[in-house]
């Protein structure tokens, strides 16, 4: 079977010549392209492998030289093929990722490590020609444990990657060449003892032809594609730069939007504060003022729930006075108000903590805040802001502002809203004082009315007949019954009715409202004059009584003996009071 020997030699020589020719041809298109350099490196390793394998066979046949050296040199060239094919593939598909570069470097380092035992005859052993003129050699386990896995991994990745890019011109030929040489290494190298045919050399020759055709079709036969590829690369770079610029622009836009939102939020806070101050000056009823304030905050800040608490009389609990929410918390305020919802000051709640420390507190994520009261009526709460209501040194209550978004508040919100809540506290305190003042005034008016009624009752009770004044003009005939037009007006002093004015008029003209108002004004003046007359008579009566008491006292003091003093006292008292009998008995109590 000498013909097999020479056919294999011819194949090796042809493969070496074709590999060198293709490498030089590709290099002429330009060394600036990484793809050209990668293919030239692969062609060089293929030429080294084919040339050394040819010389190795001639050395064995002629029994001249050192066939062992040429065998191991050809094995080295064959071992360099997988990482060089991977390098070529990475440049061809323009996917030079970091992990791909790392894998290529590792492959070359492994080949470099194999060269250490290579020339010490530790990998291939006993090269020789069989009786059929077939070259053979032995090998250690290290050869199969290193070279074969490297070839499978690197060439398998390259073939599969090129096959996926088969739409590009020449990629299908490249993928086929990689799979062919991989199959040749497996069949011709591992199974050489079973199949004594030049499979490896033949498959390598076909592979280099297909690989060269794929490269030439891209680099020489289709230069426009290379130009297009370069343009695409530049477009990709410009696109990446544009995307980076767009990303920075988007970040700046997001920052501007965030700043705008913060400014709008601060403007809303200032506006709400002004509206609260205006409400504080116009609404004096505490209940209405609290409702207005809570509704303003809820609407302006689009809160999930807002509630206002007031401190009880014992300063132990913060009691919910008014609350309003949206969504799942729409009925929370009404239900909690009906239940008398209250939180202990200093207890496990945001409101309790804020009241105890008189400081604001933020819970950016209520699920992670240890100081918080979990309320089932507000299940969607994600962040909360609790603010104390301080009017000077007095703690009025606290305000809770809740949001369905996480981290909805910040320290700027505390600075802005705390001033607003202090205004709320002052307004509530003023409303409370105004209500107390109004209550005191009502009590004073009630007491004054009682005093007026008692004084007039005492005054009229002393009269022998009731006080009544009537008048009828002489030119009007007295008729029986009432005239058709009657006007009745009350006589009032300090809200207490002390009499009634009745006026009758005949004819067809009824009493007008203007006449009624005029008469009412005159009547009020008459009431004041009557009260002044009553006070004058009362003062005259008191002055006369005081003079009488002084005269009787003077006459009693005119006696110098006890019997005379007692007799004078009995006599004077009887004369003044009109008594029929009077006596004084001195009795000393034991």
In the chain, what percentage of residues exceed pLDDT 90? 3
What pLDDT is stored for residue 95 in this prediction?
Answer: 64
Q: Give backbone dihedrals phi and psi of 473, rounded to 5 degrees, phi first.
A: -65, 150
**Selection from 471, 480, 467, 462 nearest residue 502 by Cα:** 471
More confident residue, 401 or 168: 401
Q: In this structure, what are the phi and psi dihedrals at residue 321, rounded to the nearest 5 degrees?
A: -105, -35
Task: Indicate whether 90 pLDDT > 50.
Answer: yes
* pLDDT of 529 over the 70 cut: yes
Helices (H) and strands (E) in the chain, counts: 14, 10
Tell how strand 394-403 and strand 485-493 pair up: unpaired
445 compared with 294, residue with greater pLDDT = 294
For residue 369, the model assigns a pLDDT of: 60
Residue 480 has pLDDT above 60, yes or no: no
pLDDT for the residue 225: 54
27-41, 135-149, 187-201: which has the highest mean pLDDT?
Answer: 27-41
Q: So what's the pLDDT on residue 308?
A: 92
pLDDT at 318: 92
Greater confidence (48 vs 189) lies with 48
Is the pLDDT at 80 greater than 90? The verdict is: no
Question: Residue 437, exposed/middle/buried by CB under 10 A (0-12, 13-18, 19+)?
Answer: exposed
- Mean pLDDT of all residues belonging to the chain: 76
Model confidence band, residue 58 (pLDDT cutoffs 50, 70, 90): confident
Q: Tokens 């609790």 belong to which residue?
A: 386
| DSSP label of 481 | S
Reduced 3-state DSSP string for 266-309: HHHHHHHHHHHHHHHHHCCCHHHHHHHHHHHHHHHHCCCEEEEE
Tell me, rounded to whole angstroms, the distance of Cα 6 from its chain centroid. 82
Dist. CA 590–CA 588, nearest whole Å: 6
91-100, 183-192, 428-437, 461-470: segment of lowest average pLDDT? 183-192
pLDDT in tens, 43-56: 888 888 788 888 87
Which of the pair, 3 or 576, is modelled with greater confidence? 576
User: In this structure, what are the phi and psi dihedrals at residue 402, rounded to the nearest 5 degrees?
Assistant: -120, 150
Q: Does 303 have pLDDT greater than 90? A: no
**What is the predicted pLDDT for the residue at 307?**
92
CB atoms under 10 Å from CB of 9, counted, come to 18
Render pLDDT for 349-367 as a digit per residue (tens, 0 to 9): 888 999 998 888 888 776 6
pLDDT tens digits for 195-247? 555 666 667 667 766 666 666 665 554 454 555 666 777 888 888 888 888 88
Q: Is 196 strand, coil or helix?
A: coil
Which region holds residue 223: left if phi is over 0, alpha if psi is between -120 and 50, else beta? alpha
Number of residues that this document lists for the chain: 590
Is pLDDT above 70 for 84? yes
What pLDDT sits at residue 221? 47
In which band, very low, low, confident or very high, does the pLDDT at 186 lie, cut at 50, 70 and 90?
low
Measured in whole angstroms, the distance separating CA 382 from the mean position of its chain's CA atoms is 8
Average pLDDT over residues 317-334: 88
User: At residue 279, does pLDDT exceed 60?
Assistant: yes
Is pLDDT of 6 > 70? yes
DSSP 220: T
Q: How far apart are CA 488 and CA 191, in angstroms?
A: 135
Tens digits of residue pLDDT in 94-111: 666 677 777 777 777 777
What DSSP character marks residue 308?
A: E
Over 50: is that where the pLDDT of 254 sits? yes
pLDDT reading at 574 higher than 70 = yes
What is the pLDDT, as a whole number, of residue 70?
80
Q: Is the pLDDT of residue 309 over 90?
A: yes
The span from the CA of 247 to the CA of 27, in Å, is: 40
pTM to 2 decimal places: 0.41
Angle (deg, nearest 10), helices 199-219 and 171-184: 160
Which one has a higher pLDDT value, 117 or 159?
A: 159
Q: 406 or 306, which is more confident?
A: 306
Residue keyed to tokens 């004594």: 196
Could you read off the pLDDT of 484-505 as tens digits, one per residue?
778 888 877 777 777 888 888 7
For the stretch 257-274, pLDDT in tens is: 777 777 777 777 677 767
pLDDT score at 148: 66
CB burial string 267-293: b at 16+ within 10 A, e below:
ebbeebbebbeebbeebeebeebbbbb
Residue 153: pLDDT band (50, 70, 90) is: confident
SS3 at position 489:
strand
């Amino acid at each position: 079977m000498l013909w097999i020997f020479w056919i294999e030699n011819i194949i090796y020589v042809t493969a070496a010549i074709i590999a060198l020719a293709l490498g030089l041809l590709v290099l002429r298109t330009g060394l600036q392209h990484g793809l050209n350099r990668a293919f030239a490196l692969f062609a060089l390793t293929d030429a080294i492998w084919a040339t050394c394998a040819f010389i190795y066979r001639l050395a064995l046949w002629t029994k001249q030289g050192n066939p062992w050296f040429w065998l191991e040199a050809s094995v080295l060239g064959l071992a360099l093929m997988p990482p060089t094919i991977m390098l070529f593939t990475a440049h061809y598909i323009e996917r030079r990722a970091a992990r791909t570069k790392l894998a290529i470097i590792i492959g070359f380092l492994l080949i470099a490590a194999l060269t250490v035992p290579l020339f010490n005859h530790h990998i291939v052993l006993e090269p020789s020609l069989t009786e059929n003129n077939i070259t053979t050699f032995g090998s250690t386990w290290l050869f199969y444990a290193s070279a074969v896995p490297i070839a499978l991994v690197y060439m398998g990745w390259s073939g599969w990657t090129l096959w996926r890019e088969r739409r590009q011109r020449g990629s299908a030929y490249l993928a086929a060449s990689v799979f062919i040489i991989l199959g040749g290494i497996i069949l011709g190298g591992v199974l050489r003892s079973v199949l004594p045919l030049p499979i490896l050399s033949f498959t390598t020759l076909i592979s280099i032809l297909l690989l060269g055709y794929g490269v030439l079709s891209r680099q020489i036969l289709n230069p426009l594609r290379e130009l297009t590829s370069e343009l695409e690369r530049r477009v990709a770079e410009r696109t990446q730069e544009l995307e980076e610029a767009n990303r920075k622009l988007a970040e700046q836009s997001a920052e501007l939007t965030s700043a705008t939102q913060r400014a709008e939020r601060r403007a809303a806070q200032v506006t709400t504060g002004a509206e609260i101050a205006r409400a504080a000056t116009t609404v004096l009823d505490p209940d209405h003022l609290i409702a207005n304030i809570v509704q303003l905050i809820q609407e302006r800040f689009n809160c999930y729930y807002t509630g206002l608490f007031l401190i009880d009389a014992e300063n132990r609990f913060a009691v919910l006075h008014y609350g309003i929410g949206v969504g799942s918390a729409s009925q929370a305020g009404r239900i909690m108000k009906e239940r008398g919802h209250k939180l202990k000051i200093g207890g496990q709640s945001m409101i309790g903590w804020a009241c105890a420390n008189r400081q604001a507190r933020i819970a950016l994520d209520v699920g992670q805040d240890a100081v918080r009261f979990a309320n089932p009526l507000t299940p969607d709460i994600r962040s909360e802001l609790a603010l104390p209501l301080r009017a000077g040194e007095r703690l009025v209550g606290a305000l809770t502002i809740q949001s369905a978004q996480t981290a909805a508040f910040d320290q700027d919100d505390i600075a802005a809203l705390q001033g607003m809540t202090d205004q709320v506290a002052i307004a509530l305190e003023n409303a409370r004082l105004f209500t107390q003042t109004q209550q005191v005034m009502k009590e004073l008016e009630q007491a004054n009315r009682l005093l007026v009624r008692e004084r007039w009752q005492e005054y009229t009770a002393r009269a022998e007949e009731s006080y009544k004044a009537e008048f009828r003009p002489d030119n009007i005939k007295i008729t029986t019954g009432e005239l058709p037009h009657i006007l009745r007006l009350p006589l009032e002093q300090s809200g207490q009715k002390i009499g009634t004015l009745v006026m009758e008029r005949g004819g067809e003209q009824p009493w007008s409202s203007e006449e009624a108002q005029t008469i009412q004004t005159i009547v009020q003046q008459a009431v004041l004059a009557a009260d002044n007359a009553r006070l004058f008579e009362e003062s005259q009566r008191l002055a006369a009584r005081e003079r009488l008491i002084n005269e009787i006292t003077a006459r009693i003091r005119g006696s110098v003996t006890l019997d005379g003093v007692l007799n004078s006292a009995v006599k004077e008292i009887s004369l003044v009071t009109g008594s029929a009998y009077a006596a004084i008995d001195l009795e000393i109590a034991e």
